[in-house]
Structure 1
Amino acid sequence: MSSRHEGRTASSEIFENRSDCEDESKVCSKAMKGKKLWKRVRCQLVEYHSLPGYLRDNEYILGHYRSEWPLKQVILSIFTIHNETLNVWTHLIGFFLFLSLTIYTAMRVPEVVDLRSFQHLPDFLRRADLHNIRWHVLELLSNCLPERFSPTNQTSECVLCAVKEGAANLIAPLMFQPITRWPFFAFLGGAMFCLLSSSICHLLSCHSERLSYIMLRLDYAGIAALISTSFYPPVYYSFMCNPFFCRLYLGFITIFGIATIIFSLLPVFQNPEYRTFRASLFFGMGVSGAAPILHKLILYSDQPEALQTTVYEIVMGAFYGIGALIYATRIPERWKPGRFDIAGQSHQLFHVLVVAGAYTHYHTGLVYLKWRDLKGC
């Protein structure tokens, strides 16, 4: 009897242990399902009224917000649809555009030929490809001479033109000395920094309040860097022959940019009620460039390049100014709240206009480079 009792006791213990394990596995599976469910619920898009205070920036965008997602899901959300998707991609595409322009411009920078006088002419002629130039002149002559080489005035003029063109091809490098490119590349660097920092800010700011604070500071610094460096090419190339005004204008805009960055580090600068003030501050930086532009027009009123670059700069300023106005007034979402949550909101329009203005300024810089390369001071 005792052996039977012991056997029953052992089997009952085994059964109880097995049931305990099954209960534990059920609890574990429920916990896993609970975690997955919480993760899924946590990474759902929410409405404006469900946001923490630091993410409430535009009350006219009513839905499709990401709120305090895990960092991995935040990064992967670059490929999903939410109300920041186009804010990320408009400036990210702009960044790759300017990266391509920078590489393209760097590859096309000609070598500096330091031949300011004809004292280097013998050495240059020894290095010149006279064989190709000779054949170029002969080809021009064969196109302008008649079949029987009849000596006419038209033939003589054509021969003279051919000789002049051949000589121009030979002498042109002597008169061509590219100027320094650092102001132009400073602008390209400022544009890339602004566009990339803006994309990163819109992508990561929803993770946490601390990361949002850091990203917004980076975004404001990028805007100030773009505005400041945009002045470097026009100021430097307009006043490269007037060092005093060149240093004066460059120093002023640099100090203004640094002051704006320092001011943007203040926590109060981030509050939504300072939206108009933020836009006004950056707009004021842009307007301050009117002084060197007017000064340039006075100095070089007889130069067509001065007028051409001014037209480009007015168009660039219009893009930036309209963008800042749209950003500050929150048009068009203020007219129909909720309609522009995904596409068409003011911040997206602002981004597109910033890229358009920077691209216009890129062409302005090309005009400055060609002008100063060929004419110098």
Structure 2
Amino acid sequence: MENSNRVAGNEGLVEADEVCLNEGKGKRLWKKMKYQLVEYHSLPGYLRDNEYIVGHYRSEWPLKQIFLSIFTIHNETLNVWTHLIGFFLFLALTIYTAMMVPSVVDFHSLQRFPDMLKRADLHKIHSELLTCLPSIPNMPHLQRLRDEIRTSLHSMDLLPSLSGWHIMELLNNCLPERFSHGNHSDVCVLRSMKEDVANLIAPLVFRPITRWPFFAFLGGAMFCLLASSTCHLLSCHSERLSYILLRLDYAGIAALISTSFYPPVYYSFMCNPFYCNLYLGFITILGIATVIASLLPFFQKPEFRSLRASLFFGMGFSGVAPIVHKLILFRDQPEALHTTGYELLMGAFYGLGALVYATRIPERWMPGKFDIAGHSHQLFHVLVVAGAFTHYRAGLIYLKWRDLKGC
């Protein structure tokens, strides 16, 4: 009897262990199944947006798994990375513009200028510089420069910080040719000092223009790209978070559109304060109204859908007036035509992106074939980055144009 009880007890323990083992396997299996990708028909209503993308959805995952999913394959992977890479691209462009584009001259770096002159034929370089310089405007002001080169640079830190676009261009065109037959030492020193000479001369010739409109555009672009990338990564967590991130995404689009007008409007009409303030004020007010309409829950009701669409359309269309006005005022300036060409190309990128996004091409032609790569939203993202970069190129032309010619 005792042995039979012991056997029965052991069998009960074995059964209990098997039950626990099965429960553990079931929990692991459920956890594995829970975070698998699902198809469109399994999604909750707030995640159903494009019925032509059939599968590979994440649905109501925990935040930890969502953050890790940035390195896995699903139908939002390229949506996240296209704009995340775009964000880092514009962050790099912002740093490059602040550090490399001629704007602020560090005259402390010119303390090495006399040492470079000592290693060269001072009389020869000085005479060649003065031969090149007469083609620079405001030549009478360069008499002070001649005295500075002949004596010392102790007073250079008192000079204003200005641009050197034109001086570098002039020295690049003039000095290399004139020194093509000189001795090797002079040529080497000339190459190392050319930028410093340009920065030295620039304060005597030009006045700087402000950079804030250009950096406002770069900030708006980075905000838009980062907000979009974050929305595509995290919106599958819950309905509440999806709602918040979508509003932020709309606000980012409004910020990009409105700040895109700052460089062309400001630099085109900086010499006409009335029109400059008029255009900037209008687009700023319209941009703020669009952001408010995007963020406030009151404006998310279906009856305000047409109002929200009209605000976005109005922001984009409002750029026609200042561009046409610029062409009328500066029709004889090549920079006006050049920048307008870039702006038309930017509009073509944005317009094509909006068309692809609205028509859901190409996935509507072959549902399920473009779930991972190639669907309309990914193409839209690429075109947005291309349009913003095109506008950046136009902004560089505006900066150089106004730095050289002023009003």
Q: Would you call these one fold, judging by a TM-score over 0.5?
A: yes
Q: Give a deviation string over 1:223-258, Cα, whole Å, max 9, x none.
A: 111111111111111111111211111111111111
In the alignment, which residue of structure 2 is the partner of 1:77?
69
TM-score, normalising length: structure 1: 0.79
Q: Deviation of residue 181 (structure 1)?
A: 0.9
CA distance in 2, matches of 1:41, 1:268: 38
In the alignment, which residue of structure 1 is the partner of 2:165?
none
Is 1:339 matched with 2:369?
yes
Residue 257 and residue 141 in structure 1: after superposition, are their counterparts in 2 closer, same or farther (change >3 A)? closer
1:226 aligned to which of 236, 252, 256: 256
CA distance in 1, matches of 2:295, 2:92: 31
Q: Deviation of residue 46 (structure 1)?
A: 1.1
Is 1:121 matched with 2:159?
no
Is 1:32 matched with 2:24?
yes
Residue 84 and residue 269 in structure 1: after superposition, are their counterparts in 2 closer, same or farther (change >3 A)? farther
Instruction: Work out whether residues 286 and 311 of structure 2, in 8 Å CA contact, stay in contact via their aligned partners in 1.
Output: no
CA distance in 2, matches of 1:62, 1:139: 65
Q: Give a deviation string over 1:321-351, Cα, whole Å, max 9, x none.
A: 1111111111121222222111111111100
* 1:189-268 mapped onto 2 (5 Å cutoff): 189-265=219-295
SS at match of 2:96: helix
Residue 177 and residue 213 in structure 1: after superposition, are their counterparts in 2 closer, same or farther (change >3 A)? same
CA distance in 2, matches of 1:270, 1:83: 26
* 1:295-314 mapped onto 2 (5 Å cutoff): 295-314=325-344
Instruction: Work out whether residues 313 and 364 of structure 1, in 8 Å CA contact, stay in contact via their aligned partners in 2.
Output: yes
Extract unaligned runs of 5+ from structure 2.
Answer: 108-137, 156-170, 183-196
Q: Give a deviation string over 1:343-366, Cα, whole Å, max 9, x none.
A: 111111100100000000010000
SS at match of 2:92: helix
Q: Give a deviation string over 1:137-162, Cα, whole Å, max 9, x none.
A: 79937849xxxxxxxxxxxxxxxxxx
* 1:348-367 mapped onto 2 (5 Å cutoff): 348-367=378-397
In the alignment, which residue of structure 2 is the partner of 1:98?
90
CA distance in 1, matches of 2:176, 2:352: 56
RMSD over aligned CA atoms reads: 3.5
TM-score, normalising length: structure 2: 0.74
Q: Which amino acid aligns with 2:273?
A: P
CA distance in 1, matches of 2:14, 2:82: 53
CA distance in 1, matches of 2:301, 2:367: 21
CA distance in 2, matches of 1:243, 1:234: 14
Q: Deviation of residue 30 (structure 1)?
A: 3.2
In the alignment, which residue of structure 1 is the partner of 2:178?
140
Q: Which amino acid aligns with 1:254?
A: T
Residue 356 and residue 270 in structure 1: after superposition, are their counterparts in 2 closer, same or farther (change >3 A)? farther
Residue 37 and residue 366 in structure 1: after superposition, are their counterparts in 2 closer, same or farther (change >3 A)? same
Residue 137 and residue 88 in structure 1: after superposition, are their counterparts in 2 closer, same or farther (change >3 A)? closer
Q: Give a deviation string over 1:25-63, Cα, whole Å, max 9, x none.
A: 544433332222111111111111111000001111111
In the alignment, which residue of structure 2 is the partner of 1:289?
319
CA distance in 2, matches of 1:333, 1:274: 29
Q: Which amino acid aligns with 2:51?
A: E
In the alignment, which residue of structure 1 is the partner of 2:163?
none
In the alignment, which residue of structure 1 is the partner of 2:40?
48
Q: Give a deviation string over 1:47-86, Cα, whole Å, max 9, x none.
A: 1111100000111111111111121111111111111111
Q: Give a deviation string over 1:254-277, Cα, whole Å, max 9, x none.
A: 111111112123558779999998
Q: Which amino acid aligns with 1:37?
A: L
CA distance in 1, matches of 2:245, 2:369: 27
Is 1:319 matched with 2:349?
yes
Instruction: Work out whether residues 283 and 321 of structure 1, in 8 Å CA contact, stay in contact via their aligned partners in 2.
Output: no
1:66 aligned to which of 58, 82, 95: 58
Instruction: Work out whether residues 254 and 312 of structure 2, in 8 Å CA contact, stay in contact via their aligned partners in 1.
Output: yes
Instruction: Work out whether residues 113 and 174 of structure 1, in 8 Å CA contact, stay in contact via their aligned partners in 2.
Output: no
> Which has more radius of gyration?
1
Residue 198 and residue 338 in structure 1: after superposition, are their counterparts in 2 closer, same or farther (change >3 A)? same
Residue 85 and residue 113 in structure 1: after superposition, are their counterparts in 2 closer, same or farther (change >3 A)? closer
Q: Which amino acid aligns with 1:215?
A: L
Extract unaligned runs of 5+ from structure 1.
Answer: 145-166
Q: Give a deviation string over 1:102-136, Cα, whole Å, max 9, x none.
A: 1111111432599x99499368554299xxx9xx9
Instruction: Work out whether residues 55 and 368 of structure 2, in 8 Å CA contact, stay in contact via their aligned partners in 1.
Output: yes
Instruction: Work out whether residues 53 and 367 of structure 2, in 8 Å CA contact, stay in contact via their aligned partners in 1.
Output: yes
SS at match of 2:277: helix
Q: Deviation of residue 194 (structure 1)?
A: 0.8
